[in-house]
Amino acid sequence: MSSKTLTRLFASLLALAISQATAAFSIPPPDVKAEGYILIDVQGGDVLAEKNADKPLEPASLTKIMTAYVVFHELKEGNIKLQDLATISEAAWRTGGSKMFVEVGKQVSIEDLIMGMVIQSGNDASLALAEHIGGNMGTFARLMNEHAKRLGMTNSNFLNPEGLPEPNHLTTARDLAKLTAAMIREFPEYYAWFAIKEFTYHGITQPNRNNLLWKDPSVDGVKTGHTEAAGYCLVASSKREDTRLVSVLLGAKSIKQRESESQALLNYGFNFFENSKVLAANQPAGKATLWKGEKATVDAGVAKDLLVTLPRRQKKKLETVLKLADHIEAPITKGTAVGEIEVMIDGKLVKTAPLIALEDVKEGGIFTRMADGLILWFKK
């Protein structure tokens, strides 16, 4: 065997080895010390790491993320305004735990109460907001649970707005991730308050308890929590370039641990994953056969950008499979479901999305309808 042949053989074997190593390349998540956690990409909704993500656990002050969601929804609907004044009840004033230090009988603006809740983690501010919106804590808790149901938080049950321990006041890491992602998407103008590092009310300045705001400039929220039963909890959100990740960590042993483990999760996500746009919104992905129409086909695509979060160096392995309905009759309107698109990596299904008609198509003439009707009759 010539030296040139040996060189080529060696190069081929080396290329094969590199290819196999790359195919097998997968970095597991860090060994996170917590009762439960999850890491998600907000845009694509992909889960990058998880442990006990569906285990119902006490959320402590992470409850205030749901309270904030309800308040932001009421603001957006115009049911309340930031300048509105809420009268502080004795129940709100007496609420234990972390406080904004509002005074009984005083009137405080909704905006100040929100600041006191999201920055200072004031239990008194949370109850004052709940009473102002719902009339009482029970009605507000029902509002919380209605929103939770609508958001697909299937393992959550809220009984109060501040997160003090009550039997059956529970949620999960996955549900909190869904909630946080929804809040960021729906209320970006209000979400910005979670990045504020301190707030002064009644001459008392208190810092935000989320210390990652100081340690990682890409972190802009969200909320800490702690009770003896719940342990130390943290929902953190970080945006680097065009990618936003949310980590939810429940049941750490200390403040330091919840910060270091949350930071490790975020770094893992940014270092080893990347977003890929599989298909842009309203871009034709294929043509679905159309019967009895003025056109024989209709363009099919997705209603919003189809994004997938992939391990780095895996983008070249991404494939798509179109599954189009075989019996679509005109007339058809833009937005009608006509099938689905599957996203595969190495033959493994990683995501599906509905395909819709990207255009209106009217009925064809009488001869087209008759001819297509006859063909469909024989096909049946």
Q: What pLDDT shows up at residue 365?
A: 75
Outline which parts of the chain fall under CATH 2.60.410.10: 280-379
Q: Which two tokens stand for residue 268?
A: 């893992």
Instruction: Round to whole Å and give the CA distance between 265 and 249.
Output: 9
Residue 12: the pLDDT is 37
DSSP 365: -
Stretch 120-130: mean pLDDT, rounded? 97
Q: Cα torsion for 150, 153, 154, 156, to the nearest 10°?
A: -120
Task: Spell out the residues 6+ positions from residue 168 whose beta carbon is closer than 8 angstroms to its own.
Answer: 157, 159
Contact 121, 98 (CB under 8 A): yes
Instruction: Lowest mean pLDDT of 181-190, 230-239, 357-366, name the range.
Output: 357-366
Query: CATH 3.40.710.10 in the chain, residues?
Result: 36-272
pLDDT of residue 182 exceeding 80: yes
pLDDT at 265: 97
Confidence at residue 21, expressed as pLDDT on a 0 to 100 scale: 31
- pLDDT exceeds cutoff 80 at 232: yes
**How would residue 14 be classed by pLDDT, with cut points 50, 70 and 90?**
very low
Q: How far is CA 359 from CA 245, 331, 334, in A?
A: 34, 11, 4
CATH (one of 3.40.710.10, 3.40.50.300, 3.10.129.10, 3.40.190.170) for 36-272: 3.40.710.10
Phi, psi angle pair for 308, to nearest 5°:
-140, 140
Number of H helices, E strands in the chain: 11, 16
Model confidence, pTM: 0.82
Alpha helices (runs of H) in 299-365, residue ranges in sequence order: none
Q: How far apart, in whole angstroms, are the C-alpha atoms of residue 257 and residue 126? A: 26
Is 53 within 8 Å of 37 (Cβ atoms)? yes
Look at residue 5 in the predicted model and tell me its pLDDT: 41
* Predicted local distance difference test score (pLDDT) of residue 330: 78
Cα dist from 295 to 15, 144, 324, 337, 367, whole Å: 49, 49, 16, 17, 13
pLDDT for position 20: 34
Nearest-angstrom CA–CA distance, 127 and 138: 11
**Annotated catalytic sites, by residue?**
61, 64, 121
Amino acid making up residue 196: I
Q: Which residue has the tokens 């909630």?
A: 179
Average pLDDT over the chain, rounded to whole?
89
Contacts of 258 (CB under 8 A, 6+ apart): 34, 224, 232, 233, 234, 249, 252
CATH 2.60.410.10 fits 280-379, yes or no: yes
Q: Is residue 187 scored above 80 in pLDDT? A: yes
In contact, 64 and 163? CB cutoff 8 Å: yes
